[in-house]
Structure 1
Amino acid sequence: MRPIGDLAQFMLSKQMQSRLRTSADIAGQETTTGLTNDIAQHLGGASIAVSLLDRKMELLGQHKHGIAEARVFASASQTVLAEIQDQSSQLINSLALASQMQSASELKVLSEKAAQAMIDIVNALNSKIGGKYLFAGSDTQSKPLPDGISLVAMLRSEVSGATTVGDVRNAINTWFETSGGAFETLAYAGSDTGFLQMPIGNGESAKFGLRADGESVRGLIQALGIAAFATDSSIALGTTDQKKLLTDGYNALRQIDLSLTEERAGLGLIEASIENAKIAAEMEISRIERDRLSLIGIDQFEAASKFESAQQQLDVFYRIAARQGRTSLAEYLR
């Protein structure tokens, strides 16, 4: 067994070794980070200012998360609107030729192109990002419209059997425009009262005011429907009447195109406000980080000196311990 005196010396040696290692580790960390390891001691116990800054930083982190989410939502909405307007513009260019066409087959190709555009655009309006539907207002968990093929089928049942251009126009206009009518009760399933608002900090929110039941979007689908059913097999119309409906759809789409441009411009303003909020949050975070550094920052050269001193003391300690160990072994063997 180790004598009591030797055991006491051993324990003291272990404690000294631990203190030196701890001092070296702390000094090394402070040298690397430039921050004090003991905030309370560094500030003489007055650490409430640092706590307040940390709380502000935490809140700004939450704001940044909300801003990032709003940016993604706005960008996705803008992308979908751009695709919708691009497809609508292409169809406008095609329908502009309707009045010059003479053959039923050419008119049918145009009408079918309008029907396909209607299906694609309705499906685009059902887009979602991050689990939220883009055009359902505040009810982001509800798919705003049925899929494109289903909506075309719903509208077909309304116009089926029509025999005149007026009948087709009236049926489609009634389906879309009547307050509390088929479109609002059978087709649109999103929020009909509220718009999605996403907080972006400092009491501000980004308000997304475009829904799939909005005037411009609803008018777009309605215009597409008029052109799409010009040559539909459920409606018996001659080529003259078919050209009238295609021209009606063309004129309506041209008017709606301006509304879509205005909607995209409005969304662009929202994107700008979100970007401004992002910049403001980043500037505030930088300011807080500077303030925090001024409180808990240390002289890294001084910390490096402490680290070097602790390392040297450890080296001396290990050399002495090694010599004592060799002496004790020799005496034991003797």
Structure 2
Amino acid sequence: MALRNAAKVADLNTQQSSGQKSRNYSGIADSSQRLLNLEAEYTRTEQYLRNTTQTKLRLQNMESAVDTMMDIAVKMKTLLVQSLNANQAADVNLDNEAKQAMEQIASLLNTNLDGRYLFAGGRSELPAVDIDKMYAPDNYMSKSGTTITDGLTLASLGVTDGELQIVSTDIDGNSVTSTVDYDPATWTIGDLRAAINGNTTDGAIATLRGLDEHEGPRLNIENVGNGSITITEIAGGDLLDVLGMTKIPNPRPDTSYYAGDQQILSSRVDDGYNVSYGVLADDPAFQSLIQGLGIAAGTTDQNAINVALGHITDAIDNLPNVQGKIGLNIANIERVETRHQDYKVFASQAISDIEGVDVPLVVAESAQYSTALNASFIAISRASELSLANYLR
């Protein structure tokens, strides 16, 4: 009995000092499997919470970037309207404002968190956009108000003999030069385009299209890539003057500025549940904003500025959709996060209930067993004093 009491007192003292029922699973054999299951679930829940925290932080950074882009777009729209209404593009310093806005947009689309470029899709180790490719490439466009078709002869437009020199330069500074010797008497606009397009080394292409879908076609001679182009008359011709060919930024849709891929990121936030999240830097809303800024940064032409205004207005109309998409991603993450946090509290309490002890109760129980142990020791001590001589007395 004394040995059992001594073992119980030692066990209760250990529980009292550690706050746990046992230092190993054998001490709680009847609850060990449930404890193991709860601990595994707790560990998994903690990992899911780390995933949701990381994903939500990325989304919040993206949301902040898009909010700032909206502010920039609204400011630039105001400047463009002022420029068009007052016919004072130079006075509002539109080109410099557009260039500064473009630099801000590039920085926002290259938002980096923990070494990851958030708007680059799966290629997150590289910047999402290249600012040198964000500016609209050079383009020579005929004047508005003149209907241009492939069947028109150059002579009918009043063009005299001449020769064009076309110098195209890519964004790395490499340039090529070609010439087009045209004959107004026999050549049509279609022949001129074929001569330019058939020269595979000049880096230029001739097309028929308007500044936007609302106007009729004009003649465009543009850089094939994102570089610059310079066209001059070198044999006394007047094609450029007659057609009113003006050098303006190219209004064509272009996402060559985007260096990422099309992979939408996903995060494992629960058993069998992945959340796809985020947007890419080539989203149409960003593309419209970049296109409008690229045009505004390179011209004071009122027609071109009006087109730039249209692109930026489109961006303002569509950026809320991007904001809403990111906000929905955050809301989905937070719902899962709340569920995991609730379960973590439950599991923590359940584990504590299995492993832990009621310390005041253990203290009282220990006191009882200590009293019993002391009584056992007294009984043993008295029993050890018994002898035949003492008995005969």
> For residues 104 and 289 of structure 1, do their structure 2 counterparts lie closer, same or farther at Cα, with a shift above 3 Å needed?
closer
> For residues 21 and 203 of structure 1, do their structure 2 counterparts lie closer, same or farther at Cα, with a shift above 3 Å needed?
same
Q: Which amino acid aligns with 2:316?
A: D
Shift of 1:196: 1.1
Shift of 1:206: 2.7
Residues 1:201 and 2:270 aligned together = yes
> For residues 96 and 87 of structure 1, do their structure 2 counterparts lie closer, same or farther at Cα, with a shift above 3 Å needed?
same
Shift of 1:68: 0.7
Residues 1:168 and 2:248 aligned together = yes
1:50 maps to which residue? Answer: 35
Shift of 1:104: 6.0
Q: Which amino acid aligns with 2:361?
A: E
Residues 1:218 and 2:298 aligned together = no
The one of 342, 345, 352 equivalent to 1:293 is 352
Shift of 1:114: 1.1
> Could you tell me whether the CA contact under 8 Å between 1:223 and 1:250 is conserved in 2?
yes
Residues 1:135 and 2:124 aligned together = no
2:17 maps to which residue? Answer: 28
Matches within 5 A, 1:244-259: 244-259=303-318
> For residues 102 and 93 of structure 1, do their structure 2 counterparts lie closer, same or farther at Cα, with a shift above 3 Å needed?
closer
> For residues 142 and 152 of structure 1, do their structure 2 counterparts lie closer, same or farther at Cα, with a shift above 3 Å needed?
closer
Residues 1:95 and 2:80 aligned together = yes
> Could you tell me whether the CA contact under 8 Å between 2:25 and 2:32 is conserved in 1?
yes
2:361 maps to which residue? Answer: 302
Aligned length: 272
> Could you tell me whether the CA contact under 8 Å between 2:58 and 2:118 is conserved in 1?
yes
Unaligned runs of 5+ in 1: 1-16, 178-182, 232-241, 314-334
Unaligned runs of 5+ in 2: 1-5, 139-168, 170-226, 232-239, 373-393
1:14 maps to which residue? Answer: none
More moved, 257-266 vs 111-120: 111-120
What percent of counterpart residues are identical?
17
1:326 maps to which residue? Answer: none
2:69 maps to which residue? Answer: 84
- Deviations 1:111-131 (CA, angstroms, capped at 9, x unpaired): 221121012101210111121
> Could you tell me whether the CA contact under 8 Å between 1:42 and 1:296 is conserved in 2?
no
> For residues 293 and 22 of structure 1, do their structure 2 counterparts lie closer, same or farther at Cα, with a shift above 3 Å needed?
closer
Q: Which has the larger radius of gyration?
A: 2
SS for the counterpart of 2:62 is: helix
Shift of 1:209: 4.2
Separation in 1 of the partners of 2:248 and 2:292?
A: 12
Separation in 2 of the partners of 1:296 and 1:47?
A: 9
> For residues 80 and 282 of structure 1, do their structure 2 counterparts lie closer, same or farther at Cα, with a shift above 3 Å needed?
same
- Deviations 1:154-176 (CA, angstroms, capped at 9, x unpaired): 8466354478687636x341xx4
Q: Over aligned residue pairs, what C-alpha RMSD do you find? A: 3.3
> Could you tell me whether the CA contact under 8 Å between 1:92 and 1:254 is conserved in 2?
yes
> For residues 309 and 27 of structure 1, do their structure 2 counterparts lie closer, same or farther at Cα, with a shift above 3 Å needed?
farther
**Going by fraction, where is helix more abundant, 1 or 2?**
1
**Going by fraction, where is strand more abundant, 1 or 2?**
2
> Could you tell me whether the CA contact under 8 Å between 2:15 and 2:357 is conserved in 1?
no
- Deviations 1:267-326 (CA, angstroms, capped at 9, x unpaired): 10000001101101011112222332343343322222356679999xxxxxxxxxxxxx
TM-score (norm 1): 0.71
Matches within 5 A, 1:115-126: 115-126=99-110
